[in-house]
A and B are shown apart, each in its own frame.
Chain A
């Protein structure tokens, strides 16, 4: 049993990391009061931008191209998110419809561009991120062996983003203001906060992180852009809800989901897991999210003004 856990944890972690950063992206947007079901779309944009950058630069730059690909994904994601912000914040559009449009535009537009570039619509990256033992962290007993040996450097990057986000959202003036926009925008406005600007920033960060998640998924697991993120963005959305819109909740939820998905993938080769039907493990994240919604229906931690366009004139 223990051996199995040691064996599958690196795979679970590899799957958890992109999921975690995408759901962190969702956290920024939703904490500011803007529903973001476009996470899947931002991931696709990130995968496209990352794949194109890595494929173009890899011959001349080798390993550095991967990191430039991640950087490019962040930039493109932030710019693409302005579409969502413009609709939701400036035009008071229905945020769910805008998010749906984002998902569809992202998939169709990037596939269109990819087909213009490569002809097939797929962009294979010639090099991926290597697995390595992370300095110092790998030496920690047990935890180091489980999480930081044969790990990707992006694991560390995302954990840093998680830590920074937690501090940013809960320990700084910026974070307090951002959360105020999602809880009670009228009070925030009265206190002199520019709701529109805060929400623009939050949605842009959201797009940047979700897009980064897509690119991390690309360079660690997927290996190619093929016009889809396979529903990972929706899984991250489920994690955001299951984690009740809190950074540490997201860490727990995404690891939980990552583990379930990994076990689902390896259950056929592990004898004592073989009797669990795949369907139970694969639908597990969505079912527990529904159950969590039912369980927390009276005490949901969702931002109070989530999904409501800000109307200055209403009191």
Chain B
């Protein structure tokens, strides 16, 4: 009986190695890693407000992580979550700034706009893949930069702030996901309704993948395309659907980020959450509930880094370095798997003696 599964051990191993690499880096640059980590985690967890900020930082990551994980399940690599997030955020911001509807209706419209923006940005690479055999990794990278320049074009012309050409106007309070009771509950943190949306998305995706025919078919395509096709599944259509849903999830990530965590959308930035989402999905080994856990962990790192920088001389980018290193170790998980296999094999060989005595031993 194993206490933890192999995939979970691999994730823990990647996190552990990432933290060790971070510690070495702190040591090399003449800092005390123990103090660094103490303040890093304390900064993300020490009081209700900071914990609320950690949850707020994790919100967009949950959605981009879900996006990448969802595409993984169908055997697709969505490296375009950043661009989908930008397009979702752009459309949601445009609706929020221009449509004078009452709050619930407005938020619903922004929700739909973000899903459509991100969904379209994901569906197009999916369509290019099935129709023209264009690899989704390449096309989603191109789509990222098309989104980047689209935002750079649209924001200064149609949504711009009076003083800053590089930012949109602040969205009105009715269009913001921040809400008084949540802000009060977490004593003035950035936490907002986006977290509720993100957790609901986790539940919906988990249900979709585990309990519906569509989810079954999407996973079948991911496991073995040819078998799925032989079983009568329209694999082309399923791949486009998968990319559209993945895109919509990342688009919602843009909604919760630009209309919840932030108050406007800026140009000239390809949001890092899109790439961090890959790390989240890898750590979670694409399980929706695992995505929530991994995103929360990264949210704590992101919130704690500022506090750590204030308390020690360690630059805040150590958190990004750790996350990046974790991705590298997740990519090279075969290292950890080998160690795990060796360890569990040794334990299996040993276990008969440890447990009930074998017949031969009883005779003796």
Contacts and interface: CB of A to CB of B under 8 A. Distances in A.
A121 interface: yes
B334 interface: yes
B361 interface: no
A1 to B, nearest CB: 26
A119 B350 CA distance: 54
A97 B320 CA distance: 16
B238 to A, nearest CB: 20
A266 interface: no
B132 A294 contact: yes
B332 A91 contact: yes
Contacts of B149: 278-279, 282-283, 286
Contacts of B318: 112
A105 B315 contact: no
A35 B137 CA distance: 11
Interface stretch (B47-55, B91-99, B138-146, B208-216): B138-146
B200 interface: no
A113 B153 contact: no
A283 B145 contact: yes
Nearest to B327: A101
Given A98-B332, A113-B29, A286 B142 contact: yes
Interface string B308-352: 000000010110110111011011111100000000000000000
Interface string A80-97: 000100110001111011
Contact of A108 (B141, B150, B324): B324
Report, as a range, how many residues of chain B touch the other chain: 35 or more
A97 B138 contact: no
A113 B318 CA distance: 9
Nearest to A117: B29
Given A100-B278, A112-B317, A283-B150, A293 B328 contact: no
A226 interface: no
A109 B334 contact: no
Report, as a range, how many residues of chain A touch the other chain: 35 or more
Given A98-B331, A116-B315, A283-B150, A103 B321 contact: no
B334 A112 contact: no
A289 B144 CA distance: 13
B270 interface: yes
B198 interface: no
A83 B331 CA distance: 12
Contacts of B138: 237, 241, 289, 293
B79 A100 contact: yes
Contacts of A103: 275
Contact of B327 (A97, A238, A277, A290): A97
A102 to B, nearest CB: 8
A59 interface: no
A268 interface: no
Contacts of A116: 29, 315
A287 interface: yes
A104 B327 contact: yes
B145 A286 contact: yes
Contacts of A238: 141-142
B128 interface: yes
B315 A109 contact: no
Given A97-B282, A238-B142, A290-B139, A91 B79 contact: no
Contacts of A231: 145, 148, 270
A78 interface: no
Nearest to A92: B334
A93 B332 contact: yes
Contact of B334 (A91, A104, A121): A91
A85 B330 CA distance: 15
A200 interface: no
Nearest to A285: B145
Interface in A246-278: 277-278
Given A113-B29, A283-B149, A293-B139, A107 B270 contact: no
Given A108-B320, A231-B270, 20 more contacts: A37-B141, A87-B328, A93-B331, A97-B331, A98-B328, A100-B79, A100-B275, A104-B275, A104-B279, A105-B324, A115-B315, A115-B317, A231-B145, A238-B142, A279-B149, A279-B153, A283-B150, A286-B146, A290-B134, A294-B128
12 contacts: A87-B332, A111-B320, A112-B315, A112-B320, A116-B315, A121-B317, A231-B148, A238-B142, A283-B145, A286-B149, A290-B134, A297-B134
Interface of A: 35, 37, 83, 86-87, 91-94, 96-98, 100-105, 107-109, 111-113, 115-116, 121, 231, 234-235, 237-238, 241, 277-279, 282-283, 286-287, 289-290, 293-294, 297
Sort A-B residue pairs by CB-CB distance and give the 4 closest, nearest first: A104-B324, A115-B315, A108-B320, A279-B153
